[in-house]
Amino acid sequence: MIRILASVLLCCFCLSATPYAVAADEPGCLDCHEASENPALHAVYQTLHGNLAGGGAAACTACHGPSTAHDRRGRRIAPDISYGPKWISSLEERNGACQNCHNDGDQMLWAGSEHEQDNIACVDCHSAHQPRDPALDQTIAQAQCTSCHAQVKAQLHLPSRHPIAEGKTACTDCHNPHGSASDADLHQVTLNENCYSCHQEKRGPLLWEHEPVTEDCALCHAPHGSVHDSLLTARGPALCQQCHSAAFHPSVPYGAEGLPSGSSNRNLLGSNCSNCHSQVHGSNHPSGARLTR
Ligand code: HEC
Ligand code: HEC
Ligand code: HEC
Ligand code: HEC
Ligand code: HEC
Ligand code: HEC
Ligand code: HEC
Ligand code: HEC
Ligand code: HEC
Ligand code: HEC
């Protein structure tokens, strides 16, 4: 009797020596993967994932599978789901492990997303064994994005730009890297809704609308950056002349027709279209039909 009591006490002592509650039928992951041997591995207990399945070694199996054979043989047989460096499970298995729990909210449209189709893994951006997931740190996340998206990286340093490189706007303010229902993985259903979410004043309603503005801001603006002022895709008047004919109008001096000799034409003096048509996004002025006021 005393012996039994002693062994129970001893057992309790063992238990309290480990920082996690150890259940009787628990896998032996922590016997071999000891904290002292690999402290970096045990940083998982500083994250929300440390408590999965009740914590302790059960948490390990939440992402690596029950791994019964590996649990017995260690070095020889791979865990059920492994992310490297020694063994690598298929992409489907690795992503599937995360998706078992993260398949709603922002992650709901992962299947079929650009990143999923291009064989990107959740853990290309995320990590499980770091105290703070790198993707949740805006600076690191941006570096992750631009390490693959080199063209966007270059655009971030053009003279006119959204303050992304400056850290005031994040890639993920506009994009959902897990996929979305719109083009370019935007959070909003349309590109214009994305712009309105921060530039509310452009939404209107306006008495006099300019058709391309209500249709698609990107007809005139490059969202990441541009060599032209105000993120414009071209300089005025060329910007406007993509759609508007030069004939019979102030824009004539810019056309092939050349300058009327000796002209002091008001149109020539007001060189850029927006000098007169200053309300290019639309107007609420009773006589703003031509977007001049
Ligand atoms: C008997 C000792 C032992 C037990 C128990 C054990 N492992 Fe391992 N595990 C090892 C060894 C040894 C390695 C390293 C293999 C190598 O690098 O040669 C390893 C490697 C791993 C790896 C890395 C795989 C890779 O590709 O590098 C993971 C993940 C892992 N174990 C998870 C687990 C999980 C989860 C459990 C509990 C279900 C567990 N282990 C139980 C001994 C063990
Ligand atoms: C939230 C999911 C998750 C949990 C929980 C988890 N792992 Fe991992 N594990 C991963 C991922 C993902 C990697 C790949 C490296 C990374 O992203 O941090 C990994 C890598 C490893 C490796 C290889 C690391 C290396 O550099 O050699 C071992 C060993 C391992 N895990 C064991 C464990 C053990 C033991 C536990 C329980 C204490 C555990 N894992 C809990 C997801 C998880
Ligand atoms: C067994 C369920 C489960 C598995 C498997 C799992 N997670 Fe989680 N994860 C959670 C829970 C629960 C939370 C905390 C609540 C929440 O934010 O949803 C969480 C939180 C997170 C967070 C936010 C962390 C924070 O600090 O806010 C990230 C990122 C994440 N998980 C990524 C992953 C990735 C990547 C994998 C695969 C390697 C994975 N998870 C596997 C259940 C799981
Ligand atoms: C291309 C990089 C990338 C990939 C791939 C990726 N994520 Fe994320 N994930 C992020 C970033 C960045 C955030 C932070 C979001 C933010 O700042 O709004 C995030 C946030 C999260 C969160 C935190 C909660 C939330 O919704 O904000 C979870 C959970 C998560 N990701 C799970 C996953 C899972 C599961 C996968 C794979 C199916 C995955 N992620 C693939 C970059 C990625
Ligand atoms: C202010 C919102 C906004 C921010 C911030 C933003 N983007 Fe975009 N991004 C867009 C819009 C809008 C499009 C779609 C452009 C189009 O269809 O003409 C786009 C398109 C893309 C594309 C598709 C290819 C292309 O260039 O058209 C990629 C890749 C991309 N963005 C990556 C990024 C990365 C990486 C970051 C952070 C460094 C980022 N974006 C920041 C709004 C944004
Ligand atoms: C491991 C490389 C990698 C990382 C990291 C990465 N991407 Fe991608 N991304 C791709 C590939 C490959 C595609 C599909 C081909 C393409 O359109 O460039 C893609 C597509 C996209 C698209 C859709 C483009 C379209 O035409 O619809 C957007 C938006 C995007 N990524 C944004 C991001 C953001 C934001 C991040 C950071 C959170 C990020 N990516 C991180 C590789 C990556
Ligand atoms: C997440 C918020 C956010 C979203 C979404 C957003 N913007 Fe911006 N935008 C900003 C910020 C912040 C600035 C800088 C304002 C400043 O410096 O005063 C800015 C500035 C601008 C400028 C002026 C740039 C300059 O050089 O003066 C233009 C043009 C612009 N945005 C267009 C757009 C368009 C088009 C969209 C949709 C594709 C969009 N924005 C979406 C936050 C946003
Ligand atoms: C027909 C071309 C055109 C379209 C379409 C267009 N813009 Fe502009 N935008 C301009 C021009 C030209 C300027 C610079 C002149 C100025 O300041 O009005 C500008 C400037 C801006 C500015 C910076 C100055 C300011 O007014 O705050 C923002 C922000 C902006 N646009 C947002 C948007 C948004 C949001 C949309 C879509 C709803 C949009 N633009 C659609 C031509 C356009
Ligand atoms: C993508 C094509 C496109 C671009 C670029 C464009 N516009 Fe327009 N604009 C239109 C359309 C379409 C209408 C509506 C025409 C109609 O109602 O007959 C319009 C209408 C106008 C009107 C009012 C005409 C009327 O009859 O009331 C003015 C003024 C105008 N645009 C000026 C500009 C200026 C200035 C620029 C350059 C900053 C510009 N537009 C760029 C397509 C464009
Ligand atoms: C010097 C001032 C001025 C400049 C510069 C100017 N416009 Fe106009 N625009 C006007 C006025 C004033 C009207 C109204 C004419 C009317 O009501 O008959 C007008 C009318 C228009 C209209 C309505 C259709 C039409 O022909 O009557 C369009 C479209 C237009 N302008 C586009 C442009 C474009 C594109 C540019 C630049 C290439 C431009 N404007 C430059 C003053 C100007």
Q: Does 144 sit in the ligand 6 pocket, CB within 6 Å?
A: yes
pLDDT at 74: 81
Side-chain-side CA neighbours of 239 within 13 Å: the count stands at 20
Ligand 5: centre distance to CA 84 (Å): 31
- Name which residue sits closest to atom 16 of ligand 2, judged by CA: 127
pLDDT at 248: 60
Phi (first) and psi of residue 268, to 5 degrees:
-70, -40
Burial grade of 58 (CB within 10 A; 0-12, 13-18, 19 or more): buried
Q: Does 178 sit in the ligand 4 pocket, CB within 6 Å?
A: yes
Residue-level pLDDT, tens digit, the chain, 293 residues = 334 333 333 333 333 334 444 455 678 999 999 999 899 999 999 999 999 999 999 999 999 999 999 998 888 899 999 999 999 999 999 999 999 999 999 999 999 999 999 999 999 999 999 999 999 999 999 999 999 999 999 999 999 999 999 999 999 999 999 999 999 999 999 999 999 999 999 999 999 999 999 999 999 999 999 999 999 999 988 899 899 876 666 555 444 444 555 454 445 444 688 888 999 999 999 999 999 99
pTM equals 0.93
**Local structure of 148: helix, strand or coil:** helix
Instruction: Name the residue type at position 176.
Output: N
- What's the rounded Cα separation, in Å, for the pair 167 and 162? 10
- Name which residue sits closest to atom 38 of ligand 4, judged by CA: 122
- Name which residue sits closest to atom 11 of ligand 2, judged by CA: 128
Ligand 4: centre distance to CA 135 (Å): 7
Ligand 6: centre distance to CA 177 (Å): 7
Question: Which candidate, 227, 155, 218, places its Cα nearest to that of 184?
Answer: 218
Q: And the tokens for 274?
A: 């927006």
Ligand 1: centre distance to CA 92 (Å): 21
CB-based pocket (< 6 A), ligand 8: 192, 195, 199, 202, 210, 212-213, 217, 219-221, 230, 232, 236, 274, 280-281
In this structure, what is the dihedral angle of CA atoms 53, 54, 58, 63, given to the nearest 10 degrees?
Answer: 40
Q: Does 164 sit in the ligand 5 pocket, CB within 6 Å?
A: yes
Domain chopping of the chain, boundaries: 30-101, 105-121+137-204
Q: Does 49 sit in the ligand 2 pocket, CB within 6 Å?
A: yes
pLDDT at 25: 67
CB-based pocket (< 6 A), ligand 9: 210-212, 219-220, 236, 239-240, 242-244, 273-274, 277, 280, 289-291
Q: Can the peptide bond before residue 85 be classed as cis, meaning omega within 30 degrees of 0?
A: yes
